[in-house]
Structure 1
Amino acid sequence: MSEALEFASSSAALLEPYVPPASSQSTAAKPFVTLTFATSLDSSLSLAPGVRTRLSGPGSKAMTHYLRSRHSAILVGINTMLADDPGLNCRIAGASSQPRPIIIDPHLRWVPKHSDKVLQICRAGQGLAPIVLTGLQPEEWPEGSISILTEHGGKFIHVEPKKTASGGRGRFDWHDILHVVSQEGLSSLMVEGGAQIINSLLDSQYHSLVDSVIVTIAPTWLGEGGVVVSPARAHDEQGVPIPAARLSDVKWHPFGEDVVLCGRLDKK
């Protein structure tokens, strides 16, 4: 497996105002939610849908794993799971615990296999098996997938999809997602992506659910056609376009060649 990463205590101190408190309790009504991702100068997460794109340098990558050490769960969407085959664990040297992976997979597109990195890491004792949130009913879950996931200590949980106005595929309501996270005894959640997940959480109706935002900005342009972080357009009562979201209490910290932006969403 990959080698352990080091993250200086002086760097960790810079992030302290934006991470869950060490005394966070699982009995809280809502988990502490951190939205974090790496982006290019043109707000892209990757070169194209399904194309794995490395943006973080060594310093900001270590920072991301430190953030994982401070959260009890880490969440990604199904597109990230299929495109990246992520490990979803913490590799900070000396970490005392691992975050529980949460996968948003409304239609069970992920078919767990023993060769999946997240399950390999679990068998090696370096991470935890995922909880998969799906809109399918238990009788629709494939028996093979149930068997492999249960074998590793993971499981499926049904979440009722929120129907879209256009009649397309249902999406989960973030209140329902966080309710499940709390019910699982997880006191903090690190939301890492991908773009669909990030953009949905940046919708104004969910701003009150997000406790901090930590964004790594890489000094590169990916160009047109990238997967972009850009939430839906917002309008005022007169129908005039307004900014979809804005951060306050902002701090900027350099980590190698990258810059890390920390802030909190303005509550509307």
Structure 2
Amino acid sequence: MTELLTFPAASATLLEPRLPQPKPSTSPSRPFVTLTFATSLDSSLSLAPGVRTRLSGPGSKAMTHYIRSRHAAILIGVSTLIADSPSLNCRITGAASQPRPIIIDPHLRWTPNPADKVLELARLGHGLAPFVLTGVEAQSLPAASVALLEQHGGKYIPLAATSSGPSGRMRFDWHVVFDVLFREGLLSVMVEGGGQIINSLLEPRFHALIDSIIVTIAPTWLGQGGVVVSPSGIRDSAGIPIPAARLSDVSWHPFGEDVVLCGKLHP
């Protein structure tokens, strides 16, 4: 197994107000959602689409795994899964449980393979198999893929696509996504990427679904052509461009050479 990571208690205390509480004071009606990602100084997630790019230093990487330990699920898009083959588990020392990987895959681009890291870790007991949210109807799912996922403890969850982009590709309404995950018993979700997932969730109509934002900023410029975090522009009633989103209740925390920005979306 890959070496476990440690995260200092003092640093964990700084993040505590930004994370879901083990015992909420009220009964929730939806999951606690944390949007978190690592970015360059030019707001890029990677050098180019499909190119794996490491941005987090050791301190902020340990922080990410600590945050994973505090959530019931980790959510990514299928493009990130295909490009990075991520482990989607938690390697922090003392973690009591593993988060459930959630894959947004409307067109069923991912074909599960026993050699996939996320499934290998599930077999070893070092992680959980993913739930795959897809726009493909249950009767049209490939039987071999269904069987393989279920053997590892994962499954497909078909959803109706509520909208489509300029290219005609299916998209899900985030209200529907989080409602389905809540009904699956997942009371907290850590959204990690990639770019399309992050930018779509930052659309104004979904701001109320996000409880916390934690961004690692690495001291590097990746240059033009990268995958950029930048939601669609918006205009006011007079047609004048206005900021798409702004954070409030902001705090900044250094972790090695990286700086971590925490905040909430300003209503």
Specify if TM > 0.5: yes
Aligned to 2:242: 242
What is the alpha-carbon root mean square deviation over aligned residues?
A: 1.3
Q: Percent identity?
A: 65
Contact 1:103–1:131 under 8 Å retained in 2? yes
Aligned letter for 1:218? A
Instruction: Note the C-alpha offset of 1:25.
Output: 8.7
Contact 1:72 1:189 in 2 (8 A): yes
Mapped contact 1:24–1:187 kept (Cα < 8 A)? no
When structure 1 is superposed on structure 2, of 25-34 and 187-196 the one drifting more is 25-34
Question: What is aligned with 1:152?
Answer: 152
- Per-residue CA shift, 1:87-138, capped at 9, x if unaligned? 1000001100110000000011000001000011111111111000000001
Write out the 4+ residue segments of structure 1 that deviate beyond 4 Å after TM superposition: none
Deviation, structure 1 residue 24: 3.8
Q: Superposition pairs for residues 151-230 of structure 1, below 5 Å?
A: 151-164=151-164, 166=166, 168-230=168-230
What's 1:76 paired with?
Answer: 76
**What's the CA shift string for 1:50-98, capped at 9, x where partnerless?**
0000000000000000000000001000100000001100000110011
- Structure 1: which 5+ runs fail to align? none
Q: TM-score, normalised by structure 1?
A: 0.97
Partner secondary structure for residue 254 of structure 1: strand
- Which residue does the alignment assign to 1:20? 20
1:53-72 to 2 correspondence within 5 Å? Answer: 53-72=53-72
Residue 139 of structure 1: how far off its partner (Å): 1.2
Q: CA deviation at 1:250?
A: 0.2
Give the structure 2 partner of residue 49 of structure 1: 49
TM-score by length of 2: 0.98
CA distance in 2, matches of 1:32, 1:163: 24
- The letter of the residue matching 2:260 is V
Quick one: distance in 2 between partners of 1:12 and 1:261?
Answer: 14
Aligned residue identity for 2:81: M
Aligned to 2:7: 7
Shift of 1:167: 6.5
Unaligned residue ranges in structure 2 (runs of 5+): none
| Count of matched residue positions in the alignment of Structure 1 and Structure 2 | 267
| Aligned twin of 1:133 | 133
Task: Report the CA distance between 1:27 and its aligned residue.
Answer: 5.9
Residue 127 of structure 1 aligns to a residue whose secondary structure is: coil
Secondary structure at 1:189 match in 2: strand
Amino acid of the structure 2 residue aligned with 1:76: I
Q: Which moved more, 1:22-31 or 1:76-85?
A: 22-31
Write out per-residue CA displacement over residues 183-214 of structure 1, whole angstroms, 9 at most, x where no aligned residue: 10011000000000000000000000000000
8 Å CA contact 2:165, 2:171 repeated in 1: no
Contact 1:27 1:182 in 2 (8 A): no
Shift of 1:168: 1.1
* Equivalent-residue separation in structure 1 for 2:226 and 2:67 (angstroms): 26
